[in-house]
Amino acid sequence: MKFGIIVFPGSNCDHDCYHMVKHVLGKPASFIWHKEEDLSGLDVVLLPGGFSYGDYLRAGAIARFSPVMKSVGKFAEEGGLVLGICNGFQILLEAGLLPGTMLRNRSLKFICKDVHLRVDNINTPFTLDYFENQIIKMPIAHAEGNYYADEETLTKLQKNNQIVFRYSGTDGRITDDVNPNGAAGNIAGICNEQGNVLGMMPHPERCGEKILGGRDGYTIFESIVHYSEKILNKR
């Protein structure tokens, strides 16, 4: 199985994702320049964090027009796995591959720190190795992570079990005081209805090795591998 990492001009977690996949997970990975359109041969597309186009306007607002995004849309439609992390999540929202939008953090500041998440849906290709309602620790690093969607969308997300990660206390409670950025419903990550597109603000690639203080992020990449192997076995 092969991972493709999309490189926008201002991506800055592209190398971190590459390191995670190639050297920690031990799977093939390649960089895809945002002006390319060919995603053939890939099983997973990663949209890494960063400031795709400087994000002076609104994070991800310009990146969605990059030539590669049309191909990413098609790739997702055909069932390929797409994982957008941080700025990648923002781009998926702007591109309409996931519902909702991002507002500035309610503190109006960039926030970089470890937070706790509750895994609310383990029936996605990205989370099947977690256990139900597992509490995990992962860093966030963003200025625009305040997820917003109208009531109707939020209800739908809830009903379809599309909310994958929520900011939580270490005991799993979902309260305002453990919400770092003001996100609606403490939402940290959501998937599409089919479950093959995941967007998340926290950075799993930053916590895949013990030396970095934890391995909770590794499980996402491991899940992807296990899911893909299962699919292959079925075939």
When binding is defined by CB under 8 A, the residue of 51, 75, 89, 167 that contacts other proteins is 51
Applying CB under 8 A, the site for other proteins has a residue count of 34
Specify the DSSP element, H or E, that contains 148. Answer: strand 146-148
Q: Does 110 bind other proteins (CB under 8 A)?
A: yes
Query: Exactly one of 13, 86, 191, 207 is catalytic; which is it?
Result: 86
Residue 205 bears catalytic tag: yes
Q: What residues contact 185, with CB distance under 8 A and at least 6 apart?
A: 147, 154, 158, 163, 166, 174
Q: Does 112 bind other proteins (CB under 8 A)?
A: yes
Cβ closest to other proteins, residue 112 vs residue 232: 112
CB 172 within 8 A of CB 186: no
Name the token pair of 78: 């055909």
When binding is defined by CB under 8 A, the residue of 212, 229, 230, 232 that contacts other proteins is 212
List residues bridging with 116 in a β-sheet: 137
Piece of 73-81, 94-102, 110-118, 151-159 that binds other proteins (CB under 8 A): 110-118
CB 41 within 8 A of CB 14: no
Q: Does 139 bind other proteins (CB under 8 A)?
A: yes
Q: Does 20 bind other proteins (CB under 8 A)?
A: yes
Residue 17 bears catalytic tag: no
List residues bridging with 187 in a β-sheet: 166
Specify the DSSP element, H or E, that contains 71. Answer: helix 67-77
Residue 207 bears catalytic tag: no
Q: Least distance in Å: CB of 161 to other proteins? A: 30
When binding is defined by CB under 8 A, the residue of 203, 219, 222, 227 that contacts other proteins is 203
Closest CA to 80 of 88, 72, 68: 72
Q: What is the C-alpha radius of gyration for the chain, rounded to an integer number of angstroms?
A: 16
CB 84 within 8 A of CB 198: yes
Q: Does 57 bind other proteins (CB under 8 A)?
A: no
Q: Which residues bind other proteins (CB under 8 A)?
A: 9-13, 15-16, 19-20, 23, 49-51, 53-56, 109-114, 139, 141, 143, 203, 205-206, 208-209, 211-213
